[in-house]
Amino acid sequence: MKTHIRSTLLLALAASLSPSLVLAQAPAPQPGSAYWRDAGGVVVRDGSGGCVRAGFFAPELATAECEPSLAARSAAPASPLPTAAAATAGAMPAGKAIPEVIPAPQKVTFKADSFFGFDKGVLNSAGQQALRDLLASAKDTTIEEILVEGHTDSIGSRAYNQGLSERRAQSVKVFLERQGVSPRIIKTEGFGELQPVASNATAEGRAQNRRVTVEIFGSRIAKR
């Protein structure tokens, strides 16, 4: 009899508490939402043409446009989560507002002549200070990736210019690491003379083509 009474009381208690156990579930991220996009909604691509992933990227968020092999595998039906686990995963503490996280990309192009000596691949003091200022401007940003690209004019052989652009990009990476940036998030690439932004037929054009581009991808919490 005691066992029967205890079971009845437990059932009654569970029934009385069940309305308060309903948990809100956050909407699931959609495919394509884990790639950085510019102001026009176009996916941002790195120097190799690949889509730039956000920090919360997962294979199931891949798209056929960016990563067709991952998207094809993710298209297979997945086993649903148990109801209790799904509710727990989507739960938010009562009274807590969801923070608004917004992309905060920065792209800066520096004249190589102000960063390096003539035909040199070592950063000078002016270049070092410019990079310190860039990092200071991103202090409120959670940096997920930094792309460093080196470019040259067309004077000299193509092979030599390619090597010079790579050494300059690597020099920027080394300095950023010394400032505390994780080497895992810094990618470098040298393009040599292959991507001019002006004519190499004039001194002014060649000066524009000798450049280093530093692009920061990250996010920050919106201030309310």
Which domains does the chain carry?
29-98 (no CATH), 102-221 (3.30.1330.60)
CA dist 152 and 45 (Å) reads: 21
pLDDT by residue, tens only, the chain of 224 residues: 444 434 333 333 333 434 333 333 445 667 777 777 766 677 777 656 778 777 667 788 888 888 887 777 766 555 555 554 444 444 445 555 544 555 556 778 888 888 898 889 999 999 999 999 988 888 887 888 999 999 999 999 999 999 999 999 999 999 999 999 999 999 999 999 999 999 999 999 999 999 999 998 887 666 65
What is the model's pTM? Answer: 0.56
Please, are residues 130 and 114 in contact by the beta-carbon 8 Å criterion?
yes
Residue type, 45: R
Residue 5's contacts (CB-CB under 8 Å, 6 or more residues apart) are none
Q: Within a 10 A sphere around the Cβ of 121, how many other Cβ atoms?
A: 18
- Show Cβ contacts of residue 46 under 8 Å, excluding neighbours closer than 6 positions: 52, 147, 187
DSSP conformation class of 21: G
Find out whether 84 and 116 touch, Cβ atoms under 8 Å: no
The closest alpha carbon to 150, from 191, 209, 89, 197, belongs to 191
